[in-house]
Amino acid sequence: MRQGLLLALAVAAVVALAVVYGRQAMRPPPPDVIDGVSGWLYPGWERPVDDEAGAARQGVKLAVEAGRRLKAQGVRPILLLLPLKVRIVPEHLTPSRRAQIETSRGYDELVRGLRAQGVEVFDTAPILSAAQRATGKAYQPRDAHWTGQAAEQVAAALARTIQAQGPLTGALGDGEPLGPWLVVRRYADLVAIQRRKGDLRFAEDDFILREYTAPAVGPAAVAVVGSSFVDRQYGLPQMLSHLLDRRVGHHIKYGADGCWRAMVDYLSLAPRDSARVVVWHLGEGSFSSKASQTAMAAYLKSPPPPFEPQVSPRVEPSPHHD
């Protein structure tokens, strides 16, 4: 009798697992681009962390270990965390998608989970949400990226966070000047994807960006590492350098796995780099995909390099910015 009951329970468990995995296997892949309303588009390859809890847990472990390796080299890592575009601008989603994202708590849990593991998280969600409420311009309607104005607001708050921890290495006066704002007309990246598939509904959009200025050459006090969100065209590295009045290094990789691959490259560079503060951009979508984490997972299987003490550059007090 007991053996029959145990057998029945085992069969039921196997059937339940088969149903779950069968549903996952039958789940269609996400679209490259999600159509919203009022002409808005959203990147479809990024998933909320609620949908991919296993990948999110793995991503947290990788972020924690990468941070430990930076700290072992005498570097202060700051994780610049970005939520999905749909979390900041849900109002242009279809009603069913909007209801799903507005009841989601996965991002908040991700922030809490990282901080519980000792990661210094700079959460951009409150800044971007406030910018969206105030101006409606945190994101371009048909682009996956934030606007230059939103990026600079994040840079301003980030600069205050960095300054609050005390003096920086490097010399005052090495900060970058800011170029004027320019209107750049081009196809948004999500429109470009649609056009390659024959969908020609949307024309070019206007992007308001800072005029390009060449980065300063020489030892940097702070390094920015990540993907295209922290590309110079959106202005975060320049504004951060301008406010800190010091050189800011820049190490990025493009693509869905860019923020992980950029840090893999930087970890090998860190012992020889002058920056003692590293701002690492990671998006929520990068925590939702084990595939995008592959390079970091492979790298962290190797032992960390030996500690190499740095000769500290000249230190001057940080400037005060209102």
SS3 of 282-315: EEHHHHCCCCCCHHHHHHCCCCCCCCCCCCCCCE
State the average pLDDT for the chain.
86
Q: Which residues contact 320 (CB under 8 A, 6 or more apart)?
A: 163
Asked if residue 207 is part of any domain, the answer here is: no
Task: Determine contact, residues 151/236, Cβ cutoff 8 Å.
Answer: yes
In single-letter form, the type of residue at position 290 comes to: K
pLDDT on residue 48: 95
In single-letter form, the type of residue at position 207 comes to: F
Asked if residue 174 is part of any domain, the answer here is: yes
Asked if residue 199 is part of any domain, the answer here is: no
| Total structural domains within the chain | 1
Q: What is the CA radius of gyration of the chain?
A: 22
Nearest to 132 by CA among 182, 86, 96: 86
For the beta carbon of residue 247, count every other beta carbon within 10 angstroms.
25
Asked if residue 10 is part of any domain, the answer here is: no
Per the DSSP assignment, residues forming a β-bridge with 33 are 43
For the beta carbon of residue 26, count every other beta carbon within 10 angstroms.
7
Q: Which residues contact 254 (CB under 8 A, 6 or more apart)?
A: 227, 228
Asked if residue 134 is part of any domain, the answer here is: yes
Task: Determine contact, residues 111/79, Cβ cutoff 8 Å.
Answer: no
Q: Give the whole-number percent of the chain exceeding pLDDT 90.
A: 75
In single-letter form, the type of residue at position 13 comes to: A
Asked if residue 315 is part of any domain, the answer here is: no
pLDDT tens-digit series, residues 127-162: 999 999 999 999 999 999 999 999 999 999 999 999
Taking residues 62-86, report their average pLDDT: 97
Taking residues 164-190, report their average pLDDT: 93
Task: Determine contact, residues 111/283, Cβ cutoff 8 Å.
Answer: no
Taking residues 272-284, report their average pLDDT: 95
pLDDT on residue 318: 37
Judged against a pLDDT cut of 80, whether residue 279 lies above it is answered with yes
Asked if residue 290 is part of any domain, the answer here is: yes
Report which DSSP code applies to 121.
E
* Nearest-angstrom CA–CA distance, 226 and 233: 14
Q: Provide the pLDDT confidence category of residue 306 given band limits of 50, 70 and 90.
A: low
Asked if residue 7 is part of any domain, the answer here is: no
Q: Which of 21-35, 92-106, 129-143, 260-274 has the lowest mean pLDDT?
A: 21-35
Q: Provide the pLDDT confidence category of residue 212 given band limits of 50, 70 and 90.
A: confident
At residue 252, the 3 state secondary structure works out as strand
* Owning domain of residue 150: 34-178+214-300
pLDDT on residue 32: 85
Q: Provide the pLDDT confidence category of residue 30 given band limits of 50, 70 and 90.
A: low
Judged against a pLDDT cut of 50, whether residue 316 lies above it is answered with no
Judged against a pLDDT cut of 50, whether residue 21 lies above it is answered with no
Judged against a pLDDT cut of 50, whether residue 22 lies above it is answered with no
